[in-house]
Amino acid sequence: MSTTTLTPPPKYNSTIEEQFDPGQSQLFIITKLIRQIHTADLVKVLAVYPTVGKVGFVDVQPLVQDQDTNGYVIAQSPIYKIPYFQLQGGHSAVILAPVVGDIGLAIFAERDITNVVQTQAQGAAPTRRMFNSADGLYFGGVLNADPTQWVKFLPGGGIDVTTPNSLTVNAGSVEITGTTFVTGNLGASTGASGSFTSLTGQIITVQNGLITNIF
């Protein structure tokens, strides 16, 4: 005895009401046009392109898949070389480049941004496209795993800086006001001077890199 596998009937472009009722028909057309507008989307970073002289670019893969009128899932194409966001003011910045595999948010400009991306100056949109995926901007850090290093601003005040590797500070001078505790070895390549309190409460005085007094 043979069995026949029944498949569900396909979905049509529009319902009976949308085909014959003028109001529903107009609403169907408007909705279809709105669905072509790109606003924001969750994406995954596929490649990172750091550049010299300005913030770099990324290739991203949209994660929310589309469907055709019959309900079949359609994988979206990657979006290539869109600028990524960096927190910056003037010549000061928090440098944190995206990494392949990061999940973030892509937003899409209301006009073609090609000229501005190339020149960083005012310029006319070279095409008439609007809210297009080609005019995306990437903002990182959504739905990712917990970090292993961070700068955390604590709710009650204070800053927690954690890294599994070394922490480098390059500055003309460093001034610390307040009690300072050091766990581990403290070294100085040049003549450090000052007073430090140990974990046991001893005050250690250093002049030009040499301990001169402990009490």
- The tens digit of pLDDT for each residue in 93-133 reads 999 999 999 999 999 999 999 999 999 999 999 999 999 99
| Burial call 93-130: b when 16+ CB within 10 Å, e when fewer | eeeeebeeebbbbbbbbebbbeebbeeeeeeebeeeee
Asked if residues 190 and 182 have their Cβ atoms less than 8 Å apart, the reply is no
Q: pLDDT band at 9, cuts 50/70/90?
A: very low
> What number of other Cβ atoms are within 10 A of residue 165's Cβ?
7
Q: 204 falls in which pLDDT band (50, 70, 90)?
A: confident
- Coil, helix or strand for 58? strand
According to the model, what pLDDT value does residue 146 have? 93
Q: Which CATH superfamily is domain 16-140 in?
A: Gp5 N-terminal domain (2.40.50.230)
Q: Where in the chain is the domain with CATH 2.40.50.230?
A: 16-140
Secondary structure of residue 191 in the 3-state scheme: coil
E strand or H helix that includes residue 104:
strand 103-108
- For residue 27, the model assigns a pLDDT of 85
Q: What is the pTM of this model?
A: 0.74
Distance CA(91)–CA(149), nearest Å, equals 24
Could you tell me the two tokens for 180? 């300072």
pLDDT at 104: 97
Tell me which of 28-42, 167-181, 188-202 is least confident: 188-202
More confident residue, 78 or 213: 78
